[in-house]
């Protein structure tokens, strides 16, 4: 076990071996150099110790996610730690060609891990370095001084179960001929996860050993077993890797996508009446993208809303509120299924021309909002409202 003071390469090797790192292993390393304490020779010494610890026949790999707008395999630096950037340029190390989830490796399993990853439609799927690592009998993840939130492998089970909150993104890269190309990546992970919360499951599943390397807490995890454990957890609970903090916008948004996916399995459309949530139309769209009433509905997985008498009247009388409401609907991917005309039954007992004009304005409002159903109280039957509303259905 390493003592106090400066860590030598041999001390690091000894600590790694005591943790369980051994010959023939393929190890994906996520690390914090500073967490180990003072290392004689810095990152290069740590890299040398890792390589020695898996000899003979072992492979060391590290993530090398680029931060540049256009990925260049030769010049794009790694943004996931000092050690990974130095490892990228270390003699004998190969880097995978991937615009979002590049990785580097050295050892006999390098080609197996890194070859042709750009040919596949996702970033952390079965043919990514992490997916391939999980199929190796001797495939491991080593966390040195970092926690599970830095463990890229844990995104792989999300793709295995096709988690509803995964998205499609585009990333650019420089091809061999120098041209800039764009790659669409499906089932892309992000943003926030509570991977730390998975640690008890992984530990109880006998997939992880915990020890010390220098001053750093170190976790050695069997990749295949870890993927099996987390995949099963996600099948039981699609939100298993999300936090339950109501102030975490990322996880609230992702839980909403799970709820929307669940609702879509039924043969009906769930709709919410906004008038039951807010009494002022400005509150329904308060904050634009972070809309109040609309956001509350969206967070429950519901993408269709109705506007009742009170809010409809406010929309008809306030062009500014109408524009904001329309923008919020569009920005959140929501639809308006029914619009009240804004007049109560008593409102239809007055001047016929005034009523006809009001209903006509309501019909035009419905068209502007993409709504085909206008709700008109029964006294409207006395008037030619169908002619007024043309193709709109009368509720």
| pLDDT tens digit sequence for 246-272 | 888 899 889 889 988 888 888 888 889
Q: Distance (Å, rounded) from C-alpha 184 to C-alpha 205?
A: 35
Question: 3-state DSSP call for residue 94?
Answer: strand
pLDDT of 394 > 60? The answer is: no
The predicted-structure confidence for 82-130, as pLDDT tens digits, reads as follows 999 999 999 999 999 999 999 999 999 999 999 999 999 999 999 999 9
User: pLDDT band at residue 319, thresholds of 50, 70 and 90?
Assistant: confident
pLDDT of 139 > 90? The answer is: yes
Question: 3-state DSSP call for residue 382?
Answer: helix
Confirm if 334 and 291 have CB atoms less than 8 A apart.
no
Q: What pTM does this model have?
A: 0.79
pLDDT of 169 > 60? The answer is: yes
- CB neighbours (10 Å) of residue 232? 14
- DSSP state string for 290-343: G-SHHHHHHHTT--EEEE-HHHHHHHHH-HHHHHHHHHHHHHTT-EEEEEE-S-
- CA neighbor of 90 nearest in space, from 44, 126, 141: 44
Angle at Cα 113 formed by Cα 110 and Cα 114, nearest 5°? 80
Residue, of 247 and 52, whose pLDDT is higher: 52
- CB neighbours (10 Å) of residue 120? 15
Percentages helix, strand, coil for the chain, rounded to the nearest 5?
Answer: 45, 20, 35
Q: Distance (Å, rounded) from C-alpha 368 to C-alpha 378?
A: 24
Radius of gyration of the chain (CA): 29
Kindly report whether the peptide bond that precedes residue 56 is cis, defined as omega within 30 degrees of 0.
Answer: yes
Least confident among 198-202, 222-226, 329-333, 348-352: 348-352
Q: What is the mean pLDDT of the chain?
A: 89
Q: Distance (Å, rounded) from C-alpha 155 to C-alpha 373?
A: 43
To the nearest 10°, the Cα dihedral for 159, 298, 282, 361?
Answer: 110
What's the pLDDT score for residue 4? 58
What's the pLDDT score for residue 345? 59
pLDDT of 67 > 90? The answer is: no
Confirm if 214 and 36 have CB atoms less than 8 A apart.
yes
Ramachandran sector of residue 351 (left: φ over 0; alpha: ψ -120 to 50; beta: rest): beta
Q: Distance (Å, rounded) from C-alpha 8 to C-alpha 60?
A: 19
Longest dimension (CA), the chain: 95
Mean pLDDT of 20-37: 97
Helix (H) / strand (E) containing 48: helix 42-53
Token pair of 204, please?
């109880």
What's the pLDDT score for residue 288? 43
What's the pLDDT score for residue 52? 98
Mean pLDDT of 135-156: 97
Token pair of 320, please?
């500014």
What's the pLDDT score for residue 1? 45
User: pLDDT band at residue 153, thresholds of 50, 70 and 90?
Assistant: very high
Mean pLDDT of 72-84: 95
Residues 6+ apart with CB under 8 A from 332: 289, 291, 294, 295, 298
Confirm if 181 and 264 have CB atoms less than 8 A apart.
no
Residue whose tokens read 């830095």: 150
- Strands of the 393-394 sheet, one edge to the other: 271-273, 304-307, 335-340, 373-375, 393-394
């Amino acid at each position: 076990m390493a003592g106090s003071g400066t860590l030598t390469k041999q001390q690091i090797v000894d600590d790694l071996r005591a943790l369980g790192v051994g010959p023939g292993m393929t190890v994906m390393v996520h690390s914090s150099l500073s967490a180990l304490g003072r290392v004689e020779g810095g990152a290069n010494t740590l890299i040398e110790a890792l390589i020695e610890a898996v000899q003979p026949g072992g492979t060391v790999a590290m993530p090398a996610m680029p931060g540049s707008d256009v990925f260049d395999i030769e010049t794009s630096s790694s943004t996931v730690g000092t050690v990974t950037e130095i490892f990228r340029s270390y003699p004998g190390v190969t880097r995978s060609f991937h615009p979002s989830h590049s990785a580097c490796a050295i050892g006999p399993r390098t080609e197996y891990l890194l070859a042709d990853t750009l040919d596949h439609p996702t970033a952390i799927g079965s043919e990514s370095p992490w997916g391939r690592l999980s199929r190796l009998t001797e495939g491991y993840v080593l966390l040195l001084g970092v926690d599970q939130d830095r463990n890229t492998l844990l995104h792989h089970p999300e793709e295995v179960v096709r988690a509803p909150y995964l998205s499609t993104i585009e990333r650019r890269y420089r091809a061999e001929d120098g041209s800039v190309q764009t790659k669409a990546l499906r089932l892309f992970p992000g943003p926030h996860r509570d991977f730390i919360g998975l640690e008890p499951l992984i530990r109880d599943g006998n997939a992880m050993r915990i020890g010390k390397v220098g001053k750093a807490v170190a976790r050695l995890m069997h990749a295949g077993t870890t993927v099996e454990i987390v995949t099963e957890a996600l099948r039981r609970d699609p939100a298993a890797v999300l936090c339950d903090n109501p102030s975490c916008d990322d996880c609230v948004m992702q839980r909403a996508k799970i709820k929307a996916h669940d609702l879509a399995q039924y043969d009906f459309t769930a709709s919410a009446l906004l008038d039951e949530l807010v009494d002022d139309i400005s509150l329904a769209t308060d904050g634009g993208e972070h809309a109040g009433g609309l956001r509350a509905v969206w967070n429950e997985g519901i993408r269709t809303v109705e506007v009742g008498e009170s809010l409809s009247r406010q929309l008809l009388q306030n062009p500014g509120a109408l524009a904001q409401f329309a923008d919020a609907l569009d920005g959140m991917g929501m639809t308006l299924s029914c619009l009240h005309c804004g007049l109560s039954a008593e409102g239809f007992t007055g001047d016929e021309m005034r009523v006809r004009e009001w209903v006509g304005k309501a019909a035009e409002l419905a068209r502007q909002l993409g709504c085909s159903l206008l709700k008109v109280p029964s006294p409207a039957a006395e008037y030619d409202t169908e002619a007024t509303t043309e193709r709109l259905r009368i509720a």
